[in-house]
Amino acid sequence: MPSLHFKGKPFVQNHHLVVPFHELAPVKSKGTSAKPSLHDNLVVEGDNLKALKALLPTYHGKVKCIYIDPPYNTGNEEWRYNDAVNSPMMQEWFGREVDREDLTRHDKWCCMMLPRLKLLRELLTDDGAIFVSIDDNEVHRLRCLMDEVFGEENFVVQIEWQKRYTRSNNTDNFTTVLEHLVAYRRTDAFAPNLAERSAEADARYENADEDERGPWKSIPFLNPLSAAERPNLAYAITQPNTGKKLRPKAHEKAWRASEDVFLRYTAEKRVWWGADGLSETPNIKRFLSEVRQGMTPINFWDYKFAGSTDDAAAEINQIFGEKVFSTPKPSQLLQRVIEVTADKDSIVMDSFAGSGTTAHAVLALNKQDGGNRRFILVECEDYADSITAERVRRVAQGVPGAKDEALRAGLGGTFSYFKLGRPMELHSILAGKSLPDFESLARYVFFTATGEEFDAKKIDRKSGFIGESRHHDVFLFYTEDPAKLRNLALTLDAARALPSVSGKPKLVFAPTKYLDEHFLDRLRIQFCQLPFQIYRALDA
């Protein structure tokens, strides 16, 4: 498969693997849930590369719908390439604004996107999909990157969204009224949700002859190809009311299907010869009761269906009373993305959250249909609290003066606010400085060693139990107190005292052990020394 080459690519190919895990620190005062939890609706403040990595232990393979709206790289956005990739060339890029004069701006954008797309893929469920908003500046490069990360075979659709409906006469070029939504799935287990059939679509089915099978639509029994092209479909059919033999001439359209099929239709009383019964083209009845109950989505979303940028600006104005954010998307667009991808209890993620439109859409849909969808937002700028989270607070509580009745009354829902904490630098365990807290380390070692979801509720500090994986009961001997940590070891007594939670072999992380392999084997314990052997247990 052809692939995209760009400056810096060799340095970022595996960058997502080296990004350190960071703690996620709850900020209770900024959330609205009584008890902050990573299993709640989430607003996470921080760079999404680190935040996505920090969310992996809890959300690996759990997110059904990802929507992102990254910088479009127009040259006017003031974004900076800030990933701490260990290479002099990349350091040179660090912190400089990416503007139109920057000849490497497309390279930088690709370097920024590639590791993030790789992490996002890890978070998707097997039947999940990711939708990326983008415009003409980077759409072609984005498609190449997505082909590489998700596989060409997992391309789902490129939707054209009509973001505006007026022409701009201030441009010498074409007025652009479309933006794109590029969608890829994790695996072929994804299928888009069908839309409810519209009254308009149903109205095309009538029942002119009061057929007891209900309303039907007539489909001409004609082939797009001519009789000359399909001679086997040019057999004679007798018009039952006139007795006339109908046989398509060479230049006329052939019949739609074989004679056997036509005879079956006749036996099933599906052939319709018009209201007067004299038509010279047979028509076949397709009953409404037989058609698919939903309608497949299409790849053009107009502003009536998905909202416009004007609608988005009006929403921000309604919620904040002023234009606090310059590039919001309409919540209607996000509702359409979520409807087509997620179920009523799915997790929906947006790691370039901006004004928090995705959370607004999730809460609006939940209010509409009683669903229990959850959102995870990530935003790196200072306004993660004052705009992103604030929008969620306001729409949840109710926006006085909003046109939409549900929004006026409040969409309901609560969320927890987290900030990126310290990086999990395991050599700090050796140095005894900046030690991670127990839960953060447990989250990290459990996920890294087992590749499975970590649930902090399972922790039993007394025994050191931190969770059950497919193959092990997992224990962590650790304390944030450096003096105690120095003397912490897996001893024979401690090993014997470990509870048998599920009966599986035990995986024990500890700074050291004072018992030999013989006892470990007898007690069915696999020992992993902290901080070196975290990957040791990645086994079958």
Ligand X SMILES: C[S@@+](CC[C@H](N)C(=O)[O-])C[C@H]1O[C@@H](n2cnc3c(N)ncnc32)[C@H](O)[C@@H]1O
Q: Does 380 bind ligand X (CB under 6 A)?
A: yes
For ligand X, which is the closer residue by CB, 90 or 515? 90
Question: Is there binding between residue 327 and ligand X (CB under 6 A)?
Answer: yes
Q: Enumerate the β-bridge partners of residue 121.
A: none
> Which x/- pattern, by CB under 6 A, does the window 393-432 give for ligand X?
----------------------------------------
Asked if 15 interacts with ligand X (CB under 6 A), we say no
**CA–CA separation, 161 and 431 (whole Å):** 54
Q: Rounded distance, CA 433 to CA 71, Å?
A: 38
The tokens of 190 are what?
């994804």
Cα separation, 278 vs 239, whole angstroms: 8
Span from 11-19, 212-220, 376-384, 485-493 in contact with ligand X (CB under 6 A)? 376-384
Q: Output the six-digit token pair for 473.
A: 């009961």
- Are the C-beta atoms of 436 and 480 separated by less than 8 Å? yes
C-beta of residue 249 within 8 angstroms of C-beta of residue 228: no
> Does the footprint of ligand X cover residue 81 (CB under 6 A)?
no
| Angle subtended by helix axes 309-320 and 331-341, to nearest 10 | 110
Stretch of 25-33, 147-155, 260-268, 377-385 contacting ligand X, by CB under 6 A: 377-385
Q: At closest approach, how far in Å is the CB of 165 from ligand X?
A: 19
Question: Residue 382 Cβ, how far from ligand X at the closest point, in Å?
Answer: 9
Helix (H, G, I), strand (E, B) or coil at 145: helix
Structure tokens at 279: 């038509």
Q: Could you say whether residue 362 binds ligand X (CB under 6 A)?
A: no
CA distances from 449 to 349, 416, 443 (A): 25, 27, 10
Range in contact with ligand X (rule: CB under 6 A) among 289-297, 323-331, 367-375, 451-459:
323-331
Distance of CA 362 to CAs 14, 209, 349, 367, 395, Å? 33, 46, 10, 9, 11
Residue 286 tokens, joined: 């397709």
180 lies in the site for ligand X, by CB under 6 A: no
User: Does 381 interact with ligand X (rule: CB under 6 A)?
Assistant: yes
Residue nearest to ligand X according to CB distances in the complex: 354
Q: Pick the stretch among 96-104, 274-282, 349-357, 427-435 that binds ligand X (CB under 6 A).
A: 349-357
Number of residues that bind ligand X (CB under 6 A): 16
User: What distance in Å separates the CA atoms of residue 112 and residue 123, rounded to the nearest whole number?
Assistant: 18
Q: Which of 216, 352, 447, 477 binds ligand X (CB under 6 A)?
A: 352
328: contact with ligand X by CB under 6 A: yes
From the CB of 68, what's the least distance to ligand X, in Å? 8
With CA atoms as reference, report the closest residue to 318 among 301, 330, 306, 335.
Answer: 330
CB nearer ligand X, residue 150 or residue 352: 352
How near is the Cβ of 143 to ligand X at its closest, in Å? 19
Return the HEC string of 353-377. Answer: CCCCHHHHHHHHHHHHHCCCCEEEE
Between 328 and 531, whose beta carbon lies closer to ligand X?
Answer: 328
**Nearer to ligand X by C-beta: 108 or 256?**
108
- Please pick, from the candidates 379, 385, 390, 468, the single residue that binds ligand X as defined by CB under 6 A: 379
Cβ-based nearer residue to ligand X, 357 or 366: 357
Residue 500, judged by CB atoms within 10 A of its CB (0-12, 13-18, 19+), counts as exposed
| H or E element, residue 106 | helix 105-123
378 makes contact with ligand X (CB under 6 A) = yes
Choose one: 144-152, 172-180, 267-275, 347-355; the region binding ligand X (CB under 6 A).
Answer: 347-355
Give just the sign of the alpha carbon dihedral 271, 275, 277, 278: negative
Least separation in angstroms between residue 500's CB and ligand X is 43
Is residue 37 part of the contact set for ligand X (CB under 6 A)? Answer: no
Looking at the Cβ atoms of 112 and 442, the one nearer to ligand X is: 112
CB 193 within 8 A of CB 340: yes
Residues within the interface to ligand X (CB under 6 A): 47-48, 69, 71, 325, 327-329, 352, 354-355, 357, 378-381
